[in-house]
Amino acid sequence: TGLKPPVIIYLSSSSPSFQPFPNLSQLSAALGGLSGVPELEVEALRPVNLLQERNLLPPRPLEAPEPNLTPDLKKVNCSPQTFRCTLTSIPQTQALLNKARLPLGLLLHPFRDLQQLPVITSNTIVRCRSCRTYINPFVTFLDQRRWKCNLCYRVNDVPDEFMYNPVTRSYGEPHKRPEVQNSTVEFIASSDYMLRPPQPAVYLFVLDVSHNAVEAGYLKYFCESLLENLDKLPGDTRTRVGFLTFDSTIHFYNLQEGLSQPQMLVVSDIDGTLMVNLKESKELVKDLLTSLPAMFSQSRETHSALGPALQAAFKLMSPTGGRVTVFQTQLPTLGAGKLQSREDPNQRSSTKHLGPATDFYKKLALDCSGQQIGVDLFLLSSQYADLASLACISKYSAGSVFYYPSFHYIHNPAQLEKFQKDLERYLTRKIGFEAVMRIRCTKGLSIHTFHGNFFVRSTDLLSLANVNPDSAFAVQMSIEDSLADSSLACFQAALLYTSNKGKRRIRVHTLCLPVVNQLSDVYAGADVQAITCLLANMAIDRSISSNLSDARDALVNAVVDLVTAYKSNVSNLQQSGLVVPASMRLFPLYILALLKQKALRTGTSTRLDERVFAMCEFKTQPLQQLMRMVHPDLYRMDNMSDQGALHLNDTVVPQPHLLHLSAERLSRDGAFLMDCGNVFYLWIGKCCNEMFIRDVLGCPNYASVPPNMVSETNEHFVANLLKASLFFSLRDDASAKATFFQHLVEDRSESALSYHEFLQHVQLQMSK
């Protein structure tokens, strides 16, 4: 187990007491009774021959492997939804890590929405005097007065105030304090953690009103959504808002209290008075949002001065910091930051233009970051708009990018609905301002590469002008010094931010994992999904810095290296074929799925902006969301029974089994649900049960189901059950069927192998 010497049991079949174990759990129970080997670890190390085993998927979506820790440590460890490591057993040395041929890194979702979060108000925030680690469940109390840091091992004094426990209201039990009982906590920070008084929530909306934007029709829906959610914008009585519209010129809006109606200004000398207190000027803001769509409805102005508009936004926001939300519908054509089309449909498979055409947007983003301004970009474009250049404004200011290709309010109802849902979530979700995040780890480990949207201020400090609950980060690590003297390795992420109510807070997450010296233990604790997501981030970087073909080769080599390393170091089986430990059985499948993603696939069907957006998503999406994009969950829905059902709020919800992503798993008489994370598809076969069609879709029969139906209602039990952000019903003969079939990653596609062909390709690479 990595904590005890393994016990090898020889069972002789000639012995009179020999009883074979009919199943794995009985074998594991016997082993567990003798040597403490957990059942999961026995299963994780079972050799799987990929060329022979066809049914590799578990019945339910894969969960993070549990680290092999004592029950006490397991109970207080950080949730894998917040903090995950690619290896849940940390190799003792870099040499052992190299031998495993697996990457070591962390995936972090630091500001995610939490149901329960212990909030601690204390005059003294207890930290290690040497490495500044926050006290956490994995420190050691030598006695009531001294504690030993779990990262650098320094012995620290327990402050007097820490002797009192506010939860139990008793003295002398520092080990029972909430910050030592919970691996995720939030501290209310003192003035020591402030460079200036906490800023108010400040929001500036920068709106494209060119002819192109008017044609697309987004402005009406933006204004409606903001009007509807004005009272839900995160903030307090100090919240400020501002508006700026642009085409070939930039228009500002005076919304100062006391005016009878909003004033539109085209000015050269702008100042902070154009940002107004939302509470005081709410009626004028509402008037503006009501009249904006009509103001530009006759516009014939085709140019877009996005760069100058962003420069003006920077000037407006610099005194306070805050969030700038930009809506853009075309290529910027005027002034600073203007761009020219770089897309050649015949060259889409080349990766020349995955990097920015100008450093204007990056430089401006870094200036924004320095003034605590985060910039979020909504790109709603039917033509090429050079997202590779535009995305830099969000990437380096810790913003978010949203992209709606072929957006049109009439011709593309699916994109309109997605835009409306995204916008509502965006306007109302939690936000943290003027944030920084630092990741610390046990002595001997080091962090060397970060992935996500941020500015790296120093080796381990990320500057996040804004932080939101939907963004994630990844880091690569290495082992600099042997961990032989430690049985545990720990990682801590601390996020310091200003809440929308103007409070300075520190959210701290601590993860603890066992250190092992056996290669088999490293494999038993491998987290195949976290490994896939980290490799995806590395491949995106490689395709931009080198080229797409190098990145794709590196992913295939990751599979070849694993199979080779496992065969030569762990598996004593002489069988031919591709043998991997059960913990990694889905790895080749996930890598093939990655190679078929828009971000990394070859061929000319992927438009440049769509490829770049897919890359942005890989860099910023949390693991659960990413994995469903890479390898969606597919279920048959029409024949579910109550057997193995879930009980949710007194409602019995049948639990269907996961199906392999192949057309051979579909049938004409069935209905199949595919969960891609942010979109759901329900594929209806021609001979599907009419009762199911009636109950779920509200249509009398198959013929009456619209070919490509976007479900807007939530009464359908499927949409309710899965809280779909967007829900499509597709008939077997629908035009959008191709989109559904694109996700069947085990089948052959225009530019990629089937799963079986891919395994044969890996085998060929191994023999070279």
Confidence band for 721, pLDDT divided at 50, 70 and 90: very low
| β-pairing verdict for 651-653 and 708-711 | unpaired
Residue whose C-alpha is closest to residue 754's, from 559, 592, 554, 577: 592
Beta-carbon contacts of residue 104 (< 8 Å; ≥ 6 apart): 85, 86, 87, 90, 91, 97, 476, 477, 478, 479
Would you state the pLDDT for residue 302? 94
Query: How far apart are the C-alpha atoms of 669 and 386, rounded to whole Å?
Result: 44
| 3-class state of residue 393 by DSSP | helix
Backbone angles phi, psi at 705, to 5 degrees: -75, 125
pLDDT at 37 over 80: no
- State the pLDDT at residue 478: 96
Q: What is the mean pLDDT of residues 454-477?
A: 93
- Distance separating alpha carbons of residues 230 and 556, to the nearest angstrom: 49
Choice among 340-349, 376-385, 633-642 with the minimum mean pLDDT: 340-349
d(CA 50, CA 588): 9
Q: Which residue has the higher pLDDT, 21 or 307?
A: 307
729-735 mean pLDDT:
66
What is the per-residue pLDDT for 90? Answer: 97
pLDDT in tens, 475-509: 999 999 999 999 999 999 999 999 999 999 999 99
Q: Tokens in use for 53?
A: 């085993």
> pLDDT band for position 528 (50/70/90)?
very high
pLDDT in tens, 290-335: 999 999 999 999 999 999 999 999 999 999 999 999 999 999 999 9
Angle between helix 587-595 and 623-630 (nearest 10) = 80
What is the full DSSP assignment across 289-310? HHHHHHHTTT-------HHHHH
User: Amino acid letter at 631?
Assistant: H
Please state, in angstroms and rounded to a whole number, the distance separating the CA atoms of residues 431 and 467. 6
Residue 443 has a pLDDT of 94
273 confidence band (pLDDT: 50, 70, 90): confident
> What is the reported pLDDT for 21?
36
Average pLDDT over residues 568-574: 71
Per-residue confidence (pLDDT) for residue 35, from 0 to 100:
37
CA atoms within 13 A on the CB side of 316: 31
Query: Residue range 529-549: average pLDDT?
Result: 95
How many Cα atoms occupy the beta-carbon half-sphere of 541 within 13 Å?
Answer: 14
Mean of the pLDDT values across residues 708-714? 52
Contact present, 72 and 500 (Cβ < 8 Å): no
Question: For residue range 585-609, what is the model confidence (pLDDT) as tens digits?
Answer: 999 999 999 999 999 998 778 899 9
Query: Could you read off the pLDDT of 61-101 as tens digits, one per residue?
Result: 899 999 999 999 999 999 999 999 999 999 999 999 999 99
* Antiparallel, parallel or unpaired: β 322-328 and 373-381: parallel
Bridge partner list, 263: 254
623-630 and 608-620 helices, crossing angle to 10°: 140
Find the mean pLDDT for residues 441-452: 94
Please give the distance of CA 160 from its chain centroid, rounded to a whole number.
Answer: 41
pLDDT at 661: 95
Q: Are 437 and 106 in contact (CB under 8 A)?
A: no
| Structural domains of the chain, with CATH | 1-37 (no CATH), 119-195+433-520 (2.60.40.1670), 209-430 (3.40.50.410), 632-742 (3.40.20.10)
Report residue 714's pLDDT band, with 50, 70 and 90 as the boundaries: very low
| Cβ partners under 8 Å of residue 720, min gap 6 | 714
Average pLDDT of span 178-200: 91
Contact between 570 and 581 under an 8 Å Cβ cutoff? The reply is yes
- The pLDDT of residue 164: 80
What pLDDT sits at residue 23? 42
Least confident of 259-273, 415-429, 536-550: 259-273
- The answer to whether residue 644 scores a pLDDT higher than 60 is no
